[in-house]
Chain A
């Protein structure tokens, strides 16, 4: 969300944020920064994890109002856990994204939350879905969101290639988030990454001093 809109429109704590997800050969990387701010002036948390697990191999990143995003992901997590018991197996990533979409669309008047959902399932392998503020759902190989994303569209467009290796993709994600955090004042802190493959999900944290440094720093 653009910084100059967040002040008046978003209630309370917002995730002026940078979130990202990208598919590589055999899996998907989903990541975010870790700053939560109030009105773009006060950093209320330096270490918040915006990558939420909604099922074993499905994660989502929150953007927008933190309270709304947390409420929606909690509800979605409940729905999906019940759904997976009924289905006698893990839910499809598209099912998780659809649950989030239904919640965002049906409550669009009250809510201000958007998500990037990424995961791995048996049917279609690694996938990334974007659920926007009003409840649009689309599938993409790579996607970025949040206020910091505006600063890295060029980088992502130029540097993302399909079928990267896991290491290449992890480095790409870290670089992208670091660049955004370097320019967006409401994004910062550490980089939280989750790498999801057929084998499971692995959480990687890149602390501030280990972030890649670029020319001007």
Chain B
């Protein structure tokens, strides 16, 4: 799949003869090297799950979070270069906050997603800067509009989703997500399935230890984006681990 754009890939301000901007494609590769993040929209909220790889036992538990709070009602899960993602989270926070200051109400997620996507896109136009090496998923819940989920990639496009995955195992995660009937599920049911999907796509061989980050926003949290409480998270992880064992067992039986 990798192609060499010799000579046309040195700056974001150059097109290749076949109409590609290689720097943006390389930025997307940076996202594909990062561990997986998924976001799923159900009938009464959004759940985010991130497979946070722990590279050293010396790390403090819970450090280097990959899920951010953008506003009371908006959360963001990221994949790719974490430093780039943090800077974009700050941009998103300022957009949301200045919208509230100017217009007196919560920013609609589509608008926030469009604004941040425009910002990301601006960095794909010039040779003096490089594109952002991260994709992120934005999710929110508002009483009237319901749950919303949007994903922005390094090219600066934003898409609305019912379920999406970014990072190294995004294909496998997408397959699992497609099996779910998320439109009929509640957040409490969904959080277990999200944990299960992260456990499924996690590669035990290549990447050893990982921390599961789970967050949600919806009716269950009264519209506030929060990390999932400890007891719910432990429940979800237990469900995930048990489901994996069952599948291992059933595989053995089939033989």
A9 within 8 A of B: no
Q: Which residues of the other chain, A, contact B102 by a CB distance below 8 angstroms?
A: 98-99, 102
Q: Which residues of the other chain, A, contact B110 by a CB distance below 8 angstroms?
A: 88
A-B pair number, CB within 8 angstroms: 29
Q: Which residues of the other chain, B, contact A86 by a CB distance below 8 angstroms?
A: 111, 114
Bound CA–CA A97/B105 (angstroms): 11
Q: Which residues of the other chain, B, contact A83 by a CB distance below 8 angstroms?
A: 103
Q: Which residue of B lies closest to A97 (CB)?
A: B104
Known contacts A122-B144, A123-B144: does B111 contact A99 (CB below 8 Å)?
no
Give per-residue flags for A80-107: 1 if the beta carbon is below 8 A from chain B beta carbons, else 0. Answer: 0001001110011011011101100000
B108 within 8 A of A: yes
Are A94 and B104 in touch, CB under 8 angstroms?
A: yes
Are B103 and A91 in touch, CB under 8 angstroms?
A: yes
Bound CA–CA A98/B105 (angstroms): 9
Q: Which residues of the other chain, B, contact A94 by a CB distance below 8 angstroms?
A: 103-105
Q: Which residues of the other chain, B, contact A122 by a CB distance below 8 angstroms?
A: 144
Chain B interface residue count: which class?
10 to 19
Are B108 and A87 in touch, CB under 8 angstroms?
A: yes
A137 within 8 A of B: yes
Q: Which residues of the other chain, B, contact A98 by a CB distance below 8 angstroms?
A: 102-105
Q: Which residues of the other chain, A, contact B104 by a CB distance below 8 angstroms?
A: 92, 94-95, 97-98, 101, 137
Q: Which residues of the other chain, A, contact B105 by a CB distance below 8 angstroms?
A: 92, 94-95, 98
With both chains docked as a complex, state the minimum distance between the C-beta of A103 and any C-beta of chain B, in angstroms. 10
Bound CA–CA A101/B104 (angstroms): 10
Bound CA–CA A92/B106 (angstroms): 11
With both chains docked as a complex, state the minimum distance between the C-beta of A110 and any C-beta of chain B, in angstroms. 20
17 contacting pairs across A/B (C-beta < 8 A): A86-B111, A86-B114, A87-B108, A88-B110, A92-B103, A92-B104, A94-B103, A94-B105, A95-B104, A95-B105, A98-B102, A98-B105, A99-B103, A101-B104, A102-B102, A122-B144, A137-B104
Shortest Cβ-Cβ A-B pairs, 8 listed: A98-B104, A95-B103, A94-B104, A98-B103, A123-B144, A94-B105, A92-B105, A102-B102
Query: Can you add 11 more A-B contacts, CB < 8 Å, to A92-B103, A99-B102, A137-B104?
Result: A86-B114, A92-B104, A94-B105, A95-B104, A95-B105, A98-B102, A98-B105, A101-B104, A102-B101, A102-B102, A122-B144
